[in-house]
Structure 1
Amino acid sequence: MTATPLPRATPSAAGVDAAGVLAFVRALEATPGIDPHSLMLLRGGRVVAEGWWAPYAADRAHLLYSLSKSFTSTALALAVGDGLVDLDGTVLGHFPELDARIADPRSRRMLVRHVAAMASGHRDDVVTRALAADPDDLVHGFLSVPPDADPGSLWAYNQPCTFTVGAVVQRVTGGSLSALLADRFPPFAAAPTGWLTDRGGREIGWSGLHATTETVAALGQLYLQDGVWEGRRVLPAGWVAEATRSHISTGQHPEGHQDWEQGYGFQFWMARHGYRGDGAFGQYCIVLPEQDTVLAITSQTPQMQSVLDLVWEYLLPALGAAGSPATDTDLAAHLEALVLPLPTSDGPIDPAITGSFSARDGNDQPGLTAVRLHPAGGGWTVGLVEGADTLTMTAREGAWTVTDAMATAVAGSGSDLQVDVVLVETPHRLSLFCHPGDGTFTARWQTVPLHNPPLRDLRLPDPARPATEFTR
């Protein structure tokens, strides 16, 4: 089964005011702490705006963090539609080998629909306790942690719930979440994807999926179309309505994040407008049924509510508004020229800044022990030494240079040399400051990757290269 690319249209042809979209893009770029990487806007099933901030690119998969959960929910839908999973069946019923080992009555009564809705009865995320109980089998560890209340009565954002959803699907299908999605949903098979796994080879479900922006947008469009793709029903009838309604209250967010207070479905958040999947540091799949619109965003930001606020302020009024070919052209020109800010020099770079630099105490990436710099072709060859690995790339001033899954640029900062490394298959950017005075370097992340894995793992997973950490 082959995938047809999403159709394209100009904003004005789809009833979208491009000036409003451009105002939204500029607001993203101008807001401190928001580092956009890509966006794709669909209205009426057609892409009306799309762009990637170089060195990010359309054909690159991007780590989605917890937006992965919405794909796990979709895999569950496929298994439900095939009659392989009953939402009202117990979790334990899918793991009979654990039956004699789970005594707690609440754990034994936990249903698949409870874990799909983050309503296991635990008051908080029990992933640490579950891994301590059984580091080799998170399902067993999870069921070994007694819920604080009856399943279905209490909500908590609880990573083992999603892991268990994914484990149930992988158990009943005998394959991976990725394989099931690729087999049944053509856009998932049409672009690079990869999913982190646990020690037993199961895709972890709650995070770890890498996918392109268009794959994210296509997932939103599938839900907007009630689970039908190109005239063929993919998700069972009624699934979308069930998965995207509030099953349980998420309560009052302590920081006043209104879009996290609207309730939770089956691995989807309800929002002030429509619903969404989202992931740490600003990964979004926003579905707006009333506006016949899907918005996919990848980014790096700790201010996730701020991004949604900008969507509601600038983009929402542009949907269904009158546009013009002139504003379409202005938006297209801006989107064609997107680029991440480069590190800037405060003076000429000393070409004598070469050699090997050792790590200072307190670096953000403690496993990174050395940075090696050597002049090459008007720039530098940069080697990052971490354990037994040396990651080698080229870098120069004033432009991003992409080497494999990393993009680099250099700048002079006083007597130091700054090397910025963008891990282009993740949201993250690392700044390295090499200090010739004492032969050391300082490493600072703009946003520290969850669980701070080795640099070699901050990329599209490769089955031939096992990750050293699966909990991200």
Structure 2
Amino acid sequence: MAPLPRSAPSAQATDARGVIAFLDAIEGVPGIEPHGVMLLRHGQVIAEGWWAPYTPDELHHLYSLSKLFTSTAAGFAWAEGLLDLDAPVISYFPELDAEVTDPASRSILVRHVASMSAGHSTEQWDRALTADPDEPVRGFLLEPPDGTPGVTFAYSQSSTFALGAIIQRVAGQSLVEYLRPRLFEPLGIGEVFWLRHPAGRDLGFAGLHATTEAVARLGQLYLQGGSWDGQQLLAPEWVAEATRAHVDNSGGGDSESDWAKGYGFQFWMCRHGYRGDGAYGQYCVILPEQDAVLAMTSETHDMQAVLDAVWTHLLPAFDREGPAASDAELSRRLTGLHLPFPDGEEIPDSEFTAARSDLRFLQRVTLGPRTLTLHEEDGTTTTLPLATGTWPIAGHIAARAAKTDADTVTVHLQFTLTPHKLRIICDLRSGTFEAAWRTVPLMDPSKVTLSAVADPAHRLGL
């Protein structure tokens, strides 16, 4: 993979002090935990950093940021004549034609599912999956919309799933296979994997695992109107259509919310520019007026706060002169980053049983000064190394543990392919523990195990 060009912020007319203020903001707000960040200006990387145990090369679950890649696949299929935006969705599933009789369902067009305006007024995925777990498109089309297709907005995974299913059907390939020669290889994006449902069909609305830099490269492609290294990869007409508002999503809500500025083809419009985002803090923010892209992976429930920090600190830094010394200060700030963890005394050898746990399958925890062993209900054991001051990684799980008061051992498990952290609080007096996710993995609760969260690609045989 050819490296992206690097530059000092001041060489790209950016005041590094604004970037430092942005980092202060996202690190200083309780509940925001940055994992990786890349900022590009004029096609140059001017700031980048990863908070250990996260690294530049490891894949990260993008959650709904995956939708941008599905939109891009739709752009290629449209340009190749495989996808008609004005065709009814039902036309791509002729085997459902006799069943789907409601006129409103039959009037849902491809452009409607691309723009989250299929006409259902609420998230519909669970209902579609319940109706037909093997072919959710059938469940989607069998429920007549309660609004008007093309007008009624609802952020619904069913819409993106239907779009992705159509692309995979007309292409005769998975989304990853279809995108490999058209997007991933030309952009220099290496390994990725996409979760599937059903077997053989990439999920489309979530489940893509890729690096922070892959997100940055995709954002830069859109910023450049679909051009990369002098080659027009994606039709500029698609870029323009995908990144403009097709439907009003304000719903009479907060006028300052960046979730109420309109919706394109799987892109959110923003107060400034446009973006893709994913649950718990995955972002690709594209700022055409500033010729800038921000790619970020993180863990947070307060996604608006991160965007507020972008508008407050990064926007004013563009085209503002700053001292050269600030470039060096920013470089130092981005070196040796790591997720915080409380210090404490060395851990005594001890064993704990579950008192209360969000993970019903986690039965026992065995601790020593250098190792942590997790015992699951089915007899599976996972032993992880512990080391003071670092986040040693084993099997995509990084563990830290410390005696944080006289009677308590605090354990954090960081699942490095995901935004998720599991906190285990062990009581030395009772010999019991309580475990809770800081952000709960969005997957079938009955299938949540340590291995399923830590390495979903291995679990799925990808």
* 2:400 counterpart of 1:401: no
SS in structure 2 at match of 1:296:
strand
Conserved in 2, the CA contact under 8 Å of 1:405 and 1:425? Answer: yes
Which runs of 5 or more residues in structure 1 are unaligned?
468-472
Closer, same or farther: CA 412–90 of 1 in aligned 2, 3 Å: same
SS of aligned partner of 1:383: strand
In structure 2, what is the Cα distance between the partners aligned to 1:68 and 1:237? 21
Secondary structure of the structure 2 residue equivalent to 1:260: coil
Question: 1:75-154, aligned counterparts within 5 Å?
Answer: 75-154=73-152
Indicate the SS of the match to 2:412: strand
Q: Distance in 1 between matches of 2:181 and 2:354?
A: 46
CA shift for structure 1 position 188: 6.1
Deviates more, 1:185-194 or 1:326-335: 185-194
Residue 41 of structure 2 aligns with which residue? 43
Contact 2:151 2:248 in 1 (8 A): no
Q: Which letter does structure 2 place at the counterpart of 1:438? A: S
Indicate conservation of the 8 Å contact 1:360/1:440, yes or no: yes
Quick one: which amino acid aligns to residue 429 of structure 1? K
Deviation at 1:440, TM superposition (A): 2.1
Indicate the larger mover: 315-324 or 241-250: 315-324
Distance 1:465 1:388 in 2: 17
Correspondence 1:457 to 2:456: no
- 2:65 maps to 67
Distance 2:454 2:228 in 1: 30
Task: Identify the residue that residue 223 of structure 1 maps to in structure 2.
Answer: 222
CA deviation profile, 1:309-350 (whole Å, cap 9, x unmatched)? 0100001011121133311100000001211101332xx345
Q: How does 1:311-350 map to 2 (within 5 A)?
A: 311-345=310-344, 348-350=345-347
Q: Normalising to structure 1: TM-score of the pair? A: 0.93
2-side partners of 1:122 and 1:436: how far apart? 52
Contact 2:347–2:402 under 8 Å retained in 1: no
**What is the Cα deviation at residue 465 of structure 1?**
2.3
Q: Deviations over 1:217-267 (max 9, x none)?
A: 001001001111111111123011100100000024756661111000000
- In 1, are the aligned partners of 2:391 and 2:398 still within 8 Å (CA)? yes
Report the CA distance between 1:458 and its aligned residue: 2.0
Please report how far the alpha carbon of residue 431 of structure 1 lies from its aligned counterpart in structure 2 after TM superposition.
1.1
Deviations 1:339-370 (A, max 9, x none): 1101332xx34523x23x32223x22223222
RMSD value, Cα: 1.7
Change (3 A) 1:253 1:58: farther
* Superimposed CA distance per residue, residues 111-137 of structure 1 (whole angstroms, 9 cap, x where no aligned partner): 110000000000101111111111111
Alignment match, 2:264: 265
Change (3 A) 1:289 1:281: same
* Residues 274 and 350 of structure 1: CA distance in aligned 2, closer, same or farther (over 3 Å): closer
Which one is further off, 242-251 or 440-449?
Answer: 440-449
SS at match of 1:258: coil
State how far apart, in whole Å, the 2-side matches of 1:253 and 1:218 are: 35
TM-aligned CA distance change 1:257 to 1:211, over 3 Å:
farther
- 8 Å Cα contact 1:63-1:460 kept in structure 2: no
Q: Which amino acid aligns with 1:274?
A: G
Shift of the 86–29 alpha-carbon distance from structure 1 to 2, 3 Å rule, reads same
Q: How has the CA–CA distance of structure 1 residues 440 and 163 changed in structure 2, closer, same or farther, with 3 Å as cutoff?
A: same
- Stretches (4+) displaced over 4 A: 253-257
Q: Provide the C-alpha distance between the structure 1 equivalents of 2:187 and 2:198, rounded to a whole number of angstroms.
A: 24
- Per the normalisation by structure 2, the TM-score is 0.95
After superposition, the Cα gap between the structure-2 partners of 1:17 and 1:174, relative to the gap in structure 1 and judged at 3 Å, is same
Q: Are residues 1:380 and 2:378 paired?
A: no
1:258–1:437: structure 2 CA closer, same or farther, 3 Å change rule?
same
1:176 aligned residue (157, 171, 174)? 174
Count of paired positions: 456
Is contact 1:398-1:410 (8 Å) kept? no
SS in 2 for 1:333: helix
